Amino acid sequence: MGKQSYWPQVAGLVLLLLASGSIAAWRTQPRMRTILVPAASGTAPAVKTPQVPLMLELQQNLAALGYLPVGWNGTAFTYPTVAMPQPLRALFQPGKETLLVRGAIMTYETARGLSPTHTSLGALLQSLENDAKYGRKAKQVYTYIYVSEGVPERLLVWSPRGVLQNVPTNTGVPGAKTALGSYPVYLRLVYQVMKGHDLNGAAYADPVYYISYFHGGEAVHGFYRQSYGFPQSLGCVEIPPVDARAVYNEIQIGTLVTVGSGPARMVAPPPPPPPPVTQDTGTQGAGTSSSPGTTTGAPTTQTPTTPGTPASGGSSGASQTTTAPSGTGTSQGSDTQDSSGTSQTTGGSGTPAAPPAGP
């Protein structure tokens, strides 16, 4: 019998110790989370976002640069002085990963020419810190879209300065209803011919204008109709072309679009904090004196400013008389699109994205 070797056992023990040390070291490192988005056509790109405290730092920089609906003054988040749509307000949670952060990152990466698939989280944070340091703020004011499926249907464009647009719209008919929920705009086109089939199987090919895709083949766009304000499309959010251009110019990649079952509830801004109470320790004068520690003034109470009447049409869900459709005009939806659309903005990668296949 030959001499037994113990080297395999020694080598295995060393490897086991090294592996245990690596696992312990990994557990002590800050953990990151990646938002996973299906790689199917018609979805926004995946965005890497960290957990607290890096998430809080990320939000602070985005807010300071104007990529969030709130601001950052160096010590605290500041809210707009106008009423904010409740769905948007609910999406802002300091230190937490929400769709609002994802949309803001998409907007920032597009504005700075960063690739969402090739920009690391560290590079993103460094870019944000540099822009905050040198005051390179967003060139466009933050905007948000709310679409109400309550008749009369309306589309509202909100910003921290107030309501920018409040226009009549058409959403999807039963059997092709526009999806409820919030989604970021991921692709924008100035013009396109949408092709597909109606619910009865008839083919269509409709020209549409100023298109912003936000959920698969569903998009906000301009389309000629005899009337607006009730379901008529095959899933898209249709608005008059004259309004579509204004809306298109006010939003951008990453702008959140919320489709709700009724008008958005507007949340009043929080009241400002009361001013500090000052105390007078007493002053000595000719023949007069005051008791030390006497309070010379009471704190003043500030009442929050009531938001004014929103511009361009008033508050969300304002009543408007509409007429029933005359039955003329082609049914328009978003089953498929041809290649005639001219890409104006992509999902932030700098490379034109192929139009989605649609629902």
pTM: 0.67
pLDDT digits (tens, 9 = 90+) for 315-326: 333 333 333 333
For residue 172, the 8-state DSSP code is B
* Average model confidence (pLDDT) across the chain: 76
pLDDT of residue 159: 98
List the chain domain ranges: 33-134, 144-266+328-345
Query: Cβ distance 182 to 98 under 8 Å?
Result: no
Q: Which residues contact 24 (CB under 8 A, 6 or more apart)?
A: none
Q: Say yes or no to pLDDT of 120 above 90.
A: no
pLDDT band at 337 (very low <50, low <70, confident <90, very high): very low
pLDDT of residue 80: 95
Least confident of 30-34, 79-83, 250-254, 258-262: 30-34
Q: What's the number of CA atoms in the CB half-sphere (13 Å) around residue 46?
A: 14
Q: Which residue has the higher pLDDT, 121 or 48?
A: 121
For residue 25, the 8-state DSSP code is H
The fourth-level CATH superfamily of domain 144-266+328-345 is: L,D-transpeptidase catalytic domain-like (2.40.440.10)
Q: Which residue has the higher pLDDT, 207 or 336?
A: 207
Q: Say yes or no to pLDDT of 229 above 90.
A: yes
Distances (CA, A) of 214 to 100, 234, 237: 14, 15, 10
pLDDT digits (tens, 9 = 90+) for 270-296: 887 677 676 655 544 444 444 444 433
Q: Say yes or no to pLDDT of 107 above 50.
A: yes
Query: Cβ distance 46 to 37 under 8 Å?
Result: yes
Q: Say yes or no to pLDDT of 199 above 90.
A: yes
Distances (CA, A) of 325 to 5, 203, 209, 221: 90, 20, 21, 19
Q: Say yes or no to pLDDT of 237 above 90.
A: yes
Cα separation, 347 vs 306, whole angstroms:
37
3-class DSSP state of 170 = strand
Cα separation, 264 vs 311, whole angstroms:
16
Q: Which residue has the higher pLDDT, 329 or 157?
A: 157
pLDDT of residue 280: 57
Q: Say yes or no to pLDDT of 20 above 60.
A: no
- R_g (Cα) of the chain, nearest Å: 27
Q: Which residue has the higher pLDDT, 208 or 122?
A: 208
Cα separation, 233 vs 330, whole angstroms:
10
Q: Say yes or no to pLDDT of 260 above 60.
A: yes
Q: Which residue has the higher pLDDT, 263 or 328?
A: 263
pLDDT of residue 326: 37
Q: Among the ranges 5-19, 115-129, 205-219, which has the highest mean pLDDT value? A: 205-219
pLDDT of residue 275: 73
Least confident of 141-150, 188-197, 205-214, 337-346: 337-346
pLDDT of residue 121: 84
Share of the chain above pLDDT 90, in %: 56
Q: Which residue has the higher pLDDT, 186 or 14?
A: 186
pLDDT of residue 252: 97
